[in-house]
């Protein structure tokens, strides 16, 4: 059974296929078409952390495709009320698809082992593949060509940056992380991506201006992710020089666009001027969560596990 725990679970051709389905299904909604591919299907959303975009986009796409979604919060007792060896097989025997947002990536990997239906990672401490699909859909819609594009991610080399680096390198897009050394990716991860791409698409800089140079898309995320609240003061101090502001945007291409997975903390990782500027694509990017995940769900249920 195929799951989407990380983008490493898909080949490059499969990533491209998901994006192709996403574009077709997005156009379909605009043309008034709502194919009922999930009719009589039950999609579970098991969430250990708060969410607006991930939860609502999965609930909405399930409804648009004719299925039913079930939101499952703390009260179901995952990891608390009974052993995972009982909890996951029972839960997934009721469902056709399970989306999990978890504190621990290892816990989602363990759930995949015991699952009786496909699982999609809806964010862990390590990765956020659904976000990366929506980001790439947005990049494709706003660039003349991926081969000449460049994405610069400023700030913490976190779950969002990790998945974005994978999807960029798989699709031949240059990706620079601008972060202090202790917030950068593991060297082995970068080497692995560049070896697979056959060229040095992924680079890391501790100088934010060097990372942003010639970028077509400038991306940032919060400096303190969910679960890291105790480190917030230290992170604020360590990452202050990596804020995306008008001066930083000037290091990028003239028509560079701004991206953010959201939620944002204005005045920290990004200024109000930049996030509200004409170059900001944040609303389109958030809308694309719906379309990209729809492509992912259809691919996973009909093609990967069909």
Which residues are known catalytic residues?
Answer: 101, 128, 131, 221, 261, 289
DSSP string, 116-175: SS-EEE---SS--HHHHHHHHHHHHHT-S-GGG-EEEEES---HHHHHHHHHHHHTT-EE
Residues in the chain: 306
**222 touches, from ligand NVA, ligand CP, none (C-beta below 5 to 8 Å by class):** ligand NVA
CB of 219 to ligand CP, least distance (A): 12
| Contact between 175 and 165 (Cβ < 8 Å) | yes
| Contact between 100 and 127 (Cβ < 8 Å) | no
- Using the minimum distance from each CB to ligand NVA, give the nearer residue, 155 or 208: 155
- Using the minimum distance from each CB to ligand NVA, give the nearer residue, 21 or 126: 126
Rule CB under 6 A: which residues touch ligand NVA? 123, 158-160, 221-222, 225-226, 261
Q: Which residue is nearest to ligand NVA (CB)?
A: 225
- Measured in whole angstroms, the distance separating CA 220 from the mean position of its chain's CA atoms is 12
**159 touches, from ligand NVA, ligand CP, none (C-beta below 5 to 8 Å by class):** ligand NVA
**14 touches, from ligand CP, ligand NVA, none (C-beta below 5 to 8 Å by class):** none
**120 touches, from ligand CP, ligand NVA, none (C-beta below 5 to 8 Å by class):** none
Cα angle 119, 123, 127; round to 5: 100
CB of 271 to ligand CP, least distance (A): 19
């Amino acid at each position: 059974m195929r799951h989407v725990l990380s983008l490493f679970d898909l080949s490059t051709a499969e990533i491209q296929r998901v994006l192709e389905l996403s574009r077709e299904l997005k156009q379909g909604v605009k043309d008034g078409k709502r194919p009922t591919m999930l009719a009589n299907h039950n999609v579970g959303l098991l969430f250990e952390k708060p969410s607006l975009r991930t939860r609502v986009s999965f609930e909405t796409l399930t409804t648009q495709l004719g299925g039913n979604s079930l939101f499952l919060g703390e009260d179901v007792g995952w990891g608390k009320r009974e052993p995972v060896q009982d909890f996951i097989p029972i839960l997934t025997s009721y469902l056709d698809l399970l989306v999990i947002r978890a504190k621990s990536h290892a816990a989602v990997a363990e759930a995949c082992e015991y699952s009786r239906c496909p699982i999609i990672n809806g964010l862990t401490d390590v990765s956020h593949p659904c976000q990366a699909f929506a980001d790439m859909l947005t990049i494709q819609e706003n660039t003349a060509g991926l081969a000449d594009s460049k994405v610069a991610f400023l700030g913490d080399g976190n779950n969002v940056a990790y998945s974005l680096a994978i999807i960029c390198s798989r699709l031949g897009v240059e990706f620079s992380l601008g972060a202090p050394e202790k917030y950068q990716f593991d060297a082995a991860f970068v080497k692995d991506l560049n070896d697979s791409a056959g060229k040095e698409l992924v680079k890391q800089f501790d100088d934010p201006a060097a990372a942003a140079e010639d970028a077509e898309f400038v991306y940032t995320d919060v400096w303190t992710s969910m679960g890291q609240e105790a480190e917030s003061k230290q992170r604020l101090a360590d990452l202050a020089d990596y804020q995306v502001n008008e001066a930083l945007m000037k290091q990028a291409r003239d028509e560079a666009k701004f991206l953010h997975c959201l939620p944002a903390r204005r005045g920290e990782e990004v200024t109000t001027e930049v996030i509200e500027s004409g170059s900001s694509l944040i609303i389109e990017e958030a809308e694309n969560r719906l379309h990209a995940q729809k492509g992912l769900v259809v691919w996973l249920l009909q093609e990967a596990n069909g």
